[in-house]
Amino acid sequence: MSHSTDHSRLINPLFAPTASDLAKAVCIEDLRVLAQKRVPRMFYDYADSGSWTEGTYRDNESDFRKIRFRQRVARNIADRSIESTMVSVPVSMPVAIAPTGLAGMQHADGEILAAKACEKFGIPYTLSTMSIASIEDIAAHTTKPFWFQLYVMKDRDFIGRLIDRAKAAHCGALVVTLDLQVIGQRHKDLRNGLTAPPRITLGNMLNFATKPAWCLNMLRTHRREFGNVIGHVSGVDDMGSLLSWTAQQFDPKLDWSDIAWIKKRWGGKLVLKGVLDVEDARLAAACGVDALVVSNHGGRQLDGALSSIAMLPAIADAVGNQVELWLDSGIRSGQDVLKAVALGARGTMIGRPHLYGLGAFGEAGVTRCLEILAKELDVTMAFCGHTDIRAVGRDVLHPASIPACC
């Protein structure tokens, strides 16, 4: 990440920000720095960490920086548009919010605030199975279809009911995550003793004492547990029983036959997230789904895997003419969005950038995050001599910098 900004000039993290403070956040890194100051350590670390050595987590970002643009001049770059579609849904830019667990612990009612910001901005919001706010909460606070992400668990009755709840809420797409059959070891979460709501310990209380605005906001909401699970599974009615249930539920037997069952039960637009291999991409495309997301779960699962952007060109060459491709993991700027589109992604998904905005400013911070990405995308596209994001291809990149996966 770039650290060129004078972050000492950002707002005081101990107090609620004002509207004028938003102007001081001019890049995603500004939002990250402020979120780190405002959000309790265990929840900030949950959002901003990877598994094991965090090598893949870092590569997701650094591999983007290795890709270089071709700057073009004396071309008519008036009347530009970054509008596009993702699974036939019009979007103000080719970006959707990725599903992120515990967003409601970055800021009180975080999923609701983020969904509202996305609706106003004109991009899709994807609610995680492991969210704090429930499917029904989001539906009650939005007016347009949002998307729902599904973790496939052993309790197929619960999964079936979860799909039915998403249908009842008129979700516009179901995003099935494939790369969490087992959980990658995330050292920071283990050291912090991550739970939601947090355990009352001396260390937690001392840390929370430095985050008064976060604490006050959390006291104003009743949403502090996993809203999609607690009360919807027999015997799971508090945090203790949830932890025991979850530890046994991620399904290592998940295979392609389960996708067929989900597709039939859902009956709507279906997206598969977590594809990082050409052979798997071919198998996934053969399922007849609407889109595939090239993703390594933000570097939170298999440490040592290649970055998503490094794998995108090969996957695009293999199945890009069969199924819509999106790119997730590592995007920190509008320039990264343009690079992903140039390498074959019809759309992109962002997780951490919107969480930084949420932790820093709540709903206004998510909006600010999207504004930053849109401006960077538009201006960079102009420098590359293009006026329509839908026409961007590999010609905007310097050929020698395009990833060549073995």
Strands (DSSP E) found in 57-103 = 84-86, 89-91, 95-97
Catalytic residue among 107, 297, 354, 386: 297
Query: The domain that contains 122 carries what CATH number?
Result: 3.20.20.70
b/e burial code for range 224-240 (CB count within 10 A of at least 16 → b): bbbbbbbebbeebeebe
CA distances from 250 to 101, 194, 374, 385 (A): 15, 18, 36, 47
Rounded Cα gap, residues 93 and 220, in angstroms: 34
- CA-nearest of 274, 344, 299 to 63 is 299
Q: Which residue has the tokens 């987590």?
A: 57
Strands (DSSP E) found in 41-162 = 84-86, 89-91, 95-97, 126-127, 147-151
- Determine, yes or no, domain membership for 97: yes
- Determine, yes or no, domain membership for 205: no
Full residue range of the structural domain in which residue 11 is found: 7-39+50-186+213-401
- Determine, yes or no, domain membership for 319: yes
What sign results for the dihedral spanned by CA atoms 151, 155, 156, 157?
negative
- Determine, yes or no, domain membership for 376: yes
- Determine, yes or no, domain membership for 78: yes
Q: Which residue has the tokens 């052993």?
A: 154
As a whole number, the mean pLDDT across the chain is: 93
- Determine, yes or no, domain membership for 288: yes
Confidence of residue 234 (pLDDT cuts 50, 70, 90): confident
pLDDT digits (tens, 9 = 90+) for 155-180: 999 999 999 999 999 999 999 999 99
pLDDT digits (tens, 9 = 90+) for 85-123: 999 999 999 999 999 999 999 999 999 999 999 999 999
Q: How many domains does the chain have?
A: 1
Question: How many percent of the chain have pLDDT more than 70?
Answer: 92
Indicate the pTM of the whole model: 0.94
pLDDT digits (tens, 9 = 90+) for 261-314: 999 999 999 999 999 999 999 999 999 999 999 999 999 999 999 999 999 999
Rounded Cα gap, residues 362 and 117, in angstroms: 9
**pLDDT average, residue stretch 188-204:** 84
- Determine, yes or no, domain membership for 77: yes
**pLDDT average, residue stretch 374-395:** 98
Q: And the tokens for 190?
A: 């283990």
Catalytic residue at 297? Answer: yes
**pLDDT average, residue stretch 208-216:** 94
- Determine, yes or no, domain membership for 193: no
Residues 6+ apart with CB under 8 A from 140: none
Decide if 35 contacts 106 (C-beta within 8 A): yes
> Given this model, what pLDDT does residue 406 score?
53
